[in-house]
Amino acid sequence: MKLAFSTLACPQWSTEQIVENARQMGYDALELRLLDGAVLDPVKDAEKVKQAVALSRANGLEVCTFDTSCSFNHSDPAERERHIADLRNWIQLAQQLQVPLLRVFGGAGNPDTYSQQEENAWVADALRQAAPQAEQAGVTIVLETHDGFASARRTAEVLQAVASPAVSALWDSHHPYRVGESVDEVVQALNGHIAHVHVKDARRLDTDPYGWQLVLLGEGEVPVREQLQALRQQGYQGYVSVEWEKKWHPEIPDPEVALPQHIALMKQWTA
């Protein structure tokens, strides 16, 4: 396994600080979600992204993933088309810069209005439209176990409907656990289609049965160690990326604390 972190962890760092800290901490790669504290756009931020990729590689780091904001669980066809167009721009940029993975979301969904089958069909149809371009570009689109698609079983249903080698799964350690799926259930559901992994730990809040608090690795209840061991047993050779959500949760510890702590423990657990 190769270790990375998402730039979501460090919204206050410059690109130079991100690269230097990643190198000094011993990470293998970066996952680009933010630069200069802002979510990236594949068109208007293309030059900034190119410079970040070049600087990373000049310092012995890869850029493993572009984290898009694309989601496809929209009842409005025009909205879905907008996100498909955005994904096509990301594929083009990833091909140009030889970045292998593009993260996408299914979306939050509206179960009171639409059936799960309808929503799955929207997501699968959107991914089928982008898949041939991704196949030609040598890029893998990874659908994250997140939001309405937190369940690995549901994510697997979409992947089966798409049936493209260029569309696979991103296993986010927290969300399938949050919806009650065990490590074995996730591995069995995704059945060799895990192309990327996000690691985060959290604990349930006693004051809110639906709330979670992000915590340092090993201080919560998410079975991250068991997940990493399962990946090793499956022969997983891809990236495991720390998704420390400092951008969205400014109250959690700073990246200077969290990122060294995560890599030290992940190296220990995967040794």
Q: Residue 122: give its domain's CATH number.
A: 3.20.20.150
Domain count, the chain: 1
Contact call for residues 33 and 40 (beta carbons, < 8 A): yes
* pLDDT for residue 209 is more than 70: no
Hey, is 43 helix, strand or coil? coil
Burial of 36 (0-12, 13-18, 19+ CB in 10 A): middle
| Tens of pLDDT, residues 153-175 | 999 999 999 999 999 999 999 99
* pLDDT for residue 207 is more than 80: no
Find the domain containing 88 and state its range.
2-270
Q: What is the DSSP code (8-state) at residue 200?
A: -
| Tens of pLDDT, residues 19-36 | 999 999 999 999 999 999
**pLDDT (0 to 100) of residue 78:** 96
- Integer CA distances (angstroms), 158 to 14, 138, 189, 200, in order: 37, 21, 11, 24
| Tens of pLDDT, residues 112-143 | 788 999 999 999 999 999 999 999 999 999 99
The per-type count for the chain, helices as H runs and strands as E runs, is: 9, 12
What pTM did the predictor assign? 0.96
